Structure 1
Amino acid sequence: MNHIKSVLSADAPVTEKVLLDVGQERSFINSSDDNLNLEDKKRGLEVNVFAARSDYLLGSQLSHEVIEDEYAGIVVEDDSAYPEVRAAVPSSDDPTLPQNTVRMWVIGMLMATVGSGLNLLFSLHSPSIVLSAFVTSILAWPIGKAWDKVMPDVKLFGRFGGPSLNPSPFNLKEHCLIQIMANVSFGGGEAYATDIFLAMNNYFEADFGWGFDIVTILATQCIGFALAGLVKDILITPASMIWPSNLVTCTFLTNLHINENHMANGWKISRLKFFFMVFIIGFVYYWFPGFIFQALSYFAWVTWIRPDNVIINQIFGASTGLGIIPLTFDWNQIAGYVGSPLVPPVSTIFSILLSMIMIFWVTVPAIHYSNVWFGKYLPISDSGSYDRFQQSYNVSKIVTPNLSFDIDAYKSYSPLYLPATFVISYGMSFASNTATLVHAGLFHGKEITGAFRNVKKEQEDIHNRLMKNYRDVPHWWYGIVFLVFFGLAIAGIRAWNTEMPVWALIFALVIAGVFLVPIGIICAVTSISVGLNVLTEFIIGYILPGKPIAMMFFKTFGYITNHQAVTYAQDMKLGHYMKIAPRLMFSAQFIATVWSSVVQVCVLKWAQGNITDVCDAHQKSHFTCPNARVFFNAAIIWGVIGPQRMFSSGQLYSKVLWFFLIGASLPLINWLVLKKWPKSPIKYLNWPVFFSGTGLIPPATPYNYGSYCMVGITFGYFIKRKWFHWWTKYNYSLSAALDISLAWSSLMIFFCLTLTNTNAPNWWGNTVIDTIDYEGTAIQSILNDGESFGLTKW
């Protein structure tokens, strides 16, 4: 976008009328305040003046306009075309700032070690506690400042030379690199391969040993890194690839190191002070919903009135119900599974809310209460799988000693039954995959093909121009990484008895690569990542039936390679925003990834040996391994029994396959309607987000997503419209502070109370939640001993 000159007067009120196309919404923002000084006027205009076509994801051509004021005196400098980016990312750079320092490497590796280990540990907890990289980043800041004060400015190797131990004050770029090392180590949760190990060790009773674990986790973590680098010209350098989650990180880091202060709707407090105030309050407060007063967390108050009423607990329950009134006072319930609702564009949250209402609050009850899939014998919302005797499915009864499927045992035991939300979640995943491909092809076909043909001719923004001061990473570096870890993956699947052929590994990686660009584009604009987990399970279930270990590997290499590539690309964009030298970024990401993988294997082995009854459904400290349970159930469905006995024609869940067609058709309908009526409101409805936005159900619940949407709409729509300058200044700081306070408070509760076997106080605030919803027994028809339900033939 060319420079835009806007004029203001120093002696008159500010009146700005700007049409923003931000987050696929159009809204007039008007502000008038006689008390603002000239700098405040300038800054307010700079935040709002650049209206941009950020409806990129939808493919429509919304216009934008800037109505200039009649005053003179202010020129807005060159910056990003996107208001969100302008509000969060500095538009200047100091190439002389030291980046590749001993301090950065020491603190970064320390944080990667601690963070990845704790995140693996917390992933075993229910609800899962995901420590965001902000947790270690906030700790890195005082450590870096202390390093400034204590460490002398001497060479690392004394008189033999080497880098200086303290070359300059701890700076923004060092801190950003530490943040990136934390992101690749544990920012998205535990390494996905650890779920394979837990499922094998705890449920299939198979342990291939340390060597297998190390080789597997390295291969699954690093191949995605290579793919991200190979498509960086498409997902990273274009200005339209915003990556909204990075804006929180940029705001957080600049809060600490720059901390410019200005008036925002009457608020004078700096963002740094605001951050620390929220952090302290949040840290103290979480001890109540997390330990002292747990009813604040599971605030399904309607179930407290009738704790034994099945229908009430199914409709309003927070644990195994639909959470129709999603009221909670626990940030962990709101953001624990899904992430902070303060980050995605509000149009994304509206799409998720529409999905919640239409699918999980309308369709699921209709299916469940009509007993289509024998719903009256099952919980309405649960991540478990059941047999015909209403017990958890015992997979050991249908597999041989070498973990292959035993068809005769299966026929004498039971088919597998799933709660309605579990089945529908599979259908939603089917639809999201086809919707993503069709949507990307129809709305972004020209951009994608053009990017592949000639990426170097794309129009540059200020950040691209500033990055020309640094040497780029050649693509062949990433190619070598791919070949090395592809070889390691082959060694892992062939040296141990995984029953997965090499051609299946190649097929999985092809799937990951084909979906990388369309999924990356959607995530770069909406913060919603479309998962390939169910699609890969579906495919391998047909081509290699009855082999659960092979299924888990195929799923991991097909899904997690794609997901990791998107995650690494997001971190590369963060480095792009913060002007990190690309070659140093390559080293930091790669080394931290390899090291954290080894750390997570070590912590997993420690947890399995030291936490009593770990992964048991009734573990007293809630270390029930929710993610591993879902992984294991998926292995039963797709890898043991197989989709042909679950979803093929004539089988119980065969109608779920219609979701493939539904997902492909709806984006086409959108495209045709917009061709005829370009201004139709349908342009705001994004079908990939609709189908994939609730993709974490299960293990997340509708209660989690409902509260997530309520908070996201409150801040992203109402507060943003009414107090735009406050939202611009404080929104991302609030998000970071809530995440970090939750993480540190959870950490203290774990070490001070959980490990010492200290029980929560026995009073009404902790016992009122003991409903049949919380206990997982909200089932309409309870069988007596020896009774069974369901199909007569299978």
Structure 2
Amino acid sequence: MLEQDSRDGSIKMEFDFDAVNEEDSPFPEVRASVSNIDDPEMPAMTLRMWLIGLVLCMTASAMNLFFNFRQPAPSVSPLALLLVCYPIGKFFAFVLPITTYRLPRYLGSHEFSLNPGPWNIKEHVLVYIMANVAIGAPYAINAIVVTQLNYGVQVDYWFSVLLVVATQLTGFGLAGICRRFLVWPSSMVWPQNLVTCTLLNTLHAEDDEEPGSITRYRYFLLVLGGAFFFYFIPGYLFSALSVFSWMCWILPDNIPVNQLFGVESGLGMTIVTFDWSQISWIGSPLMFPWWAEVHIFFGFVLFFWIITPILYYTNTWDLAYFPLNDSNPYDRYGNVYNVSAVLDASNRFNLTAYENYSPLYLPATYAMTYMLAFALSTCVLVHTILYHGRSLLNGMKKIRVEQDDIHAKLMRNYPEVPDWWYLVCFFGFFLLMVVVVEVWHTSVPVWALMLSVALPTLYVLPSGFIYAMTGQGITLNLLAQIIPGTLMAGDPVANMIFKAYSVQTLSEATSFVQDLKLGHYIKVPPRATFLVQFVGTLLASFIQIGVKQWMFNNIPDICTPQQPSLLTCPHNQVYYTASAVWGIIGPTRQFGKGTLYYPELYAIIVGAFLPVPFWLWQRRYPNSWVRFVSTPVVLNGVSYIPPAAGINYSAWFAVGFVFQYLIRKWNFAWWSKFNYVTSAALDSGTVLSLIIIFFTLDFPKGGLYINWWGNTVYTKTADWNRLSLKVIPSSGIPLD
């Protein structure tokens, strides 16, 4: 087994001669990716780790927050930072002095060194762990932006910072409480961590180029450079290659063709785009397991290429009067819903104004997304009970969920994080959230906050089980809107804050647990993992709010459809629509009995029964292919629509088919060496190119635009103009 020595950095083959049969994980994919030995003396929390990690993570978090407002929205992936920090760490190990320093007696007389030896795998993984939880755009940013732009409420810096910190770190405490279920058992594999472990082990075992081959790092730089220069073509010089709806160019006025094959408001049946930011918008297709990609694309084809067109072209729920795929709600006259027309002076719902104006209508893909969310809310609970009920019961009885594998045994060398640390975080940041809603008079009562944190507490184990098996997280979007929409009816700002707190707590909890498992695999001291997660997330919150403030103070026309750099805020538009549906109109008026969309509620019943036949079948035939079916993944995988369009799924699956099936099957050696490096390089090169294009060509003096056919052809189609199939009568859609 290969392992890096902490003293001289060499790679040595070590054997445990005390055991004739070497103990390892019971799962072959874990055995192939994770080392089953450890060096407890290898330094982890070094000063250079903190310096490299904080600088890279704060930079990447600022960049990702910036591009969160763009459509399509590329991002700097944690895997890219893992590759970037490798040569930096090696450089620091080469140039820093190896002198050992001692603190004064009044500071404890502790010894430390700026250079404790070669850059090692434990320092490396701590930088990655910090990045994985810190660099994503906070979900609460959506609530802040929509409150400010759409509801005209002034939001100051400290409210924004404290709201983001509270929503980010409450889930941190919840994650630690779930370790015995989601981290310590060997069956909780977390497949995305295996990717990281493979790359870490190969980087630290491969310093020299093998004869006749190329190192992963040199390959990473070559692909990054190629992606950087290539993106200038679809991103600036020939943008039609990004919106490559060639059938719509041929038939620009044929509405059904534009709706089925379009890229902007269509279902993306053309499949082809030359823009990596379009392909990877829902996640890099080189990172998902092939079986999960099949699940997701099957759900996309079934629900959005088959059922949605049937509903649309039969004009079910008056869908044909509106664009097929859109993020906006509409009124009965075909206009984007004027939310201010149904609000009073206090931003509360006005029933009289609503009855005089119009019901709220949903585009077809939006209606389908809500129906799937209704089904998922019960499907995931039933699936968890059926497939993981015994483990949950044993854990609650304080019976060991599983016998310790070799990794759990090796982790006994390190002091565990006490549960009370996590409990303090959980309750402490909940109290901070109470301070936020009370001091700034958000109209969110404390009892509502208790409900909003009870939801992720209920769903964290079901979501964690599915995430650990499939790499797909479960969202609480629907329930986190229905509950406040019912209990705090007519108050959109309160609805958004409730939703942000609930959804982000669950999302962050699963993300933190994933990194706890990664630290478990690499044998990092648990307290080191705790500190880098906490510090990285806390500091990134301040940086990201600062970037948001700068953008909204300096970038003209931000969050408008005409923004020349495509900073149109797609996620904020979806968040705004949801706040109108659930926070203003309310679930009873939108989905209650007698309403247009009432039949969607039957999906709740369907979702509860959906996992049952597959579970019964695999119980009867345990070796059948049915054992690989995960109904929550099928329902949840398409949740990015809207704002994602069909091309973001069809092109994503096409690329995934090439890399995750064809290349993996026919050239596994190349795939295992270069697949994940290719993904990180494409992400990084595209993001760097976008930054250069924005700050040198788009932003200065209103932008430098090249006006020619390749940059305008797609703007003259029914797809771009979001035309509907039917024309609304001048008197509006008839009301029943």
Shorter chain as normaliser: what TM range? over 0.9
Letter in structure 2 aligned against 1:147: F
- Amino acid of the residue matched to residue 262 of structure 2? G
The one-letter code of the counterpart of 2:57 is: A
Partner of 2:9: none
| Separation in structure 2 between the aligned mates of residue 342 and residue 275 of structure 1, nearest angstrom | 14
Say if 1:398 and 1:344 are closer, same or farther in 2 by CA, change over 3 A: same
- The 1-side partners of 2:411 and 2:73 are apart by 38
- Could you tell me whether the CA contact under 8 Å between 2:248 and 2:719 is conserved in 1? no
Counterpart amino acid of 2:695? Answer: F
Q: Does residue 397 of the first structure (1) align with residue 377 of the second (2)? A: no
State the distance in 1 between where 2:52 and 2:519 align.
18
Q: Which residue type is aligned with residue 659 of structure 2?
A: F
**CA shift for structure 1 position 490:** 1.0
Match of residue 537 from structure 2: 593
Larger mean CA deviation between 635-644 and 209-218 belongs to 209-218
The match for 1:339 is 283
1:123 matched to 2:68: yes
Residue 478 of structure 2 aligns to a residue in which SS?
helix
Q: Which residue of 1 aligns with 2:8?
A: none
The separation in 2 between residues aligned to 1:455 and 1:745, in whole angstroms, is 53
Write out per-residue CA displacement over residues 670-697 of structure 1, whole angstroms, 9 at most, x where no aligned residue.
Answer: 2233344444443333210110011111
1:172-251 to structure 2, matched below 5 A, reads 172-186=121-135, 189-251=136-198
Query: For structure 1, which segment, 374-383 or 192-201, has the greater mean C-alpha deviation from structure 2 after superposition?
Result: 374-383
8 A contact 1:95–1:469 mirrored in 2: yes
The sequence identity of aligned pairs, in percent, is 39
Do the aligned partners of 1:271 and 1:730 also contact (CA within 8 Å) in 2? Answer: yes
What's the counterpart of residue 408 of structure 1?
352
Q: Which residue of 2 aligns with 1:23?
A: none
Between the aligned partners of 1:774 and 1:159, the Cα distance in structure 2 is 70
Partner of 1:84: 29
Residue 495 in structure 1 maps to residue 456 in structure 2: no
Match of 2:203, as an amino acid? L
The 5 A counterparts of 1:103-182 are 103-154=48-99, 163-182=112-131
- What residue in structure 2 maps to residue 717 of structure 1? 661
How far residue 464 of structure 1 moved from its aligned partner, in angstroms, is: 1.8
1:288-315 deviation digits (Å, cap 9, x = unpaired): 2222222222222111111222111101
Q: 2:371 aligns with which of 427, 448, 470?
A: 427
Query: Is the 2:45–2:528 contact (alpha carbons within 8 Å) kept by the matching residues of 1?
Result: yes
Residue 792 in 1 paired to residue 735 in 2? yes
Could you say what the CA RMSD is over the residues aligned between the two structures, in angstroms?
A: 2.4
Give the structure 1 partner of residue 16 of structure 2.
Answer: none
- Measured in 2, the distance between the counterparts of 1:145 and 1:682 equals 47
Give the letter aligned to residue 365 of structure 1.
Answer: P
75-84 vs 679-688, greater mean Cα deviation: 75-84
Match of 1:673 in 2: 617
Secondary structure, in 3 states, of the residue corresponding to 2:113?
Answer: coil
Residues 251 and 733 of structure 1 are in contact (CA less than 8 Å); yes or no, is this contact kept in structure 2?
no
What's 2:391 paired with? Answer: 447
Equivalence for 1:60? none
1:700 and 2:635 matched: no
Q: What is the distance in 2 between the residues matched to 1:703 and 1:202?
A: 29
| Residues 75 and 683 in structure 2, CA contact (< 8 A), matched pair in contact too | no
Q: Distance in 2 between matches of 1:457 and 1:406?
A: 53
Aligned CA distance change for structure 1 residues 262 and 150 (closer, same or farther; 3 Å): closer
Determine if the alignment matches structure 1 residue 732 to structure 2 residue 683.
no
Give the alignment's TM-score, normalised by structure 1. Answer: 0.86
Q: What is the 5 A alignment of 1:256-655?
A: 256-259=203-206, 268-336=213-281, 338-454=282-398, 456=400, 458-655=402-599
How far apart are 1:399 and its partner, in Å?
0.9
Partner of 1:32: none
Query: For residues 135 and 606 of structure 1, what CA distance do their matches in structure 2 show?
Result: 26
CA contact (8 A) 1:172 1:254 kept: yes
**TM-aligned CA deviation for residue 718 of structure 1:** 2.9
Aligned pair count reads 714
Distance 1:462 1:747 in 2: 45
Change (3 A) 1:698 1:426: same
Shift of 1:262: 10
Deviation track 1:8-33 (CA, whole Å, cap 9, x = no partner) reads xxxxxxxxxxxxxxxxxxxxxxxxxx
One-letter amino acid of the structure 2 residue matched with residue 442 of structure 1: L
Report the Cα offset of residue 527 of structure 1: 0.8
How far has the Cα of 1:273 moved from its partner? 3.4
Give 5+ residue unaligned stretches, structure 2.
2-12, 14-19
Equivalent AA in structure 2 for residue 146 of structure 1: F
Q: For residues 394 and 76 of structure 1, do their structure 2 counterparts lie closer, same or farther at Cα, with a shift above 3 Å needed? A: farther
CA displacement at 1:142 relative to structure 2: 3.2
- C-alpha displacement at 1:148, in angstroms? 2.8
Question: Which 10-residue stretch deviates more, 737-746 or 253-262?
Answer: 253-262
**1:38-77 maps to which residues of 2 (within 5 A)?**
77=22
SS of residue paired to 1:273: helix
Return the letter of the residue paired with 2:190.
W
- 1:604 & 1:367 partners in 2: Cα distance? 39
Deviations 1:549-595 (A, max 9, x none): 11112212222111110011111112112221110111111111111
- What is the distance in 1 between the residues matched to 2:352 and 2:199? 59
Quick one: which amino acid aligns to residue 247 of structure 1? L
Measured in 2, the distance between the counterparts of 1:590 and 1:725 equals: 38
Cα shift at 1:504: 1.2
Partners of 2:492 and 2:583 within 8 A in 1: yes
Distance 1:296 1:147, change over 3 A: same
1:68 corresponds to: none
Q: Which SS does the other structure have where 1:318 is aligned?
A: coil
Match of 1:373, SS?
helix
* Partners of 1:180 and 1:589 within 8 A in 2: yes
The offset of 1:392, in angstroms, is 1.4
**Alpha-carbon displacement from aligned partner over 1:636-690 (angstroms, at most 9, x marks no partner):** 0000010111101110111111111111111112223334444444333321011
Which piece of structure 1 moves more, 282-291 or 619-628? 282-291
Quote the offset at 1:267 in angstroms: 8.4
SS of equivalent to 1:768: helix
What's the CA shift for 1:777?
Answer: 2.6
Deviations 1:405-448 (A, max 9, x none): 01111111211111100010011111112111001101211122
Gaps of 5+ in 1: 4-41, 43-74
C-alpha displacement at 1:156, in angstroms? 6.9
User: What amino acid is aligned across from residue 615 of structure 2 in structure 1?
Assistant: W
Q: CA deviation at 1:502?
A: 1.1
Q: Which segment drifts farther, 538-547 or 243-252?
A: 243-252
Note the C-alpha offset of 1:197: 0.6
Q: Distance in 1 between matches of 2:311 and 2:539?
A: 47
Distance change >3 Å, CA 269–CA 151, structure 1 → 2: closer
Is the Cα–Cα contact under 8 Å of residues 242 and 278 in structure 2 kept in the other structure? yes
Contact 2:342 2:351 in 1 (8 A): yes
TM-superposed deviation, 1:107 = 1.6
Distance, in Å, in 1 between the alignment partners of 2:354 and 2:401 is 59
String of CA shifts for 1:132-167, please: whole Å, max 9, x gaps.
Answer: 123433332333233234333356788887632222
1:619 Cα deviation (Å)?
A: 1.0
Counterparts of 2:635 and 2:512 in 1: how far apart (Å)? 24
Q: Tell me: CA distance 1:776–1:452, structure 2 relative to 1, closer, same or farther (3 Å).
A: farther
TM-superposed CA distance for 1:732, in Å, is 2.2
Whether the aligned pair in 1 keeps the contact of 2:255 and 2:719 (CA below 8 Å) is no
Q: For the residues of structure 1 that align with 2:88 and 2:733, how far apart are their CA atoms?
A: 60
Deviations 1:710-729, CA, capped at 9 Å, x for gaps: 22233333332333333333
Which of 134-143 and 586-595 deviates more?
Answer: 134-143
User: Hey, what's the Cα distance between the residues in 2 that align with 1:150 and 1:262?
Assistant: 23
TM-score, normalised on structure 2? 0.92
CA distance in 1, matches of 2:33, 2:688: 25
Distance 2:696 2:82 in 1: 23
Supply the distance in 1 between the matched residues of 2:96 and 2:255 (Cα, whole angstroms).
63
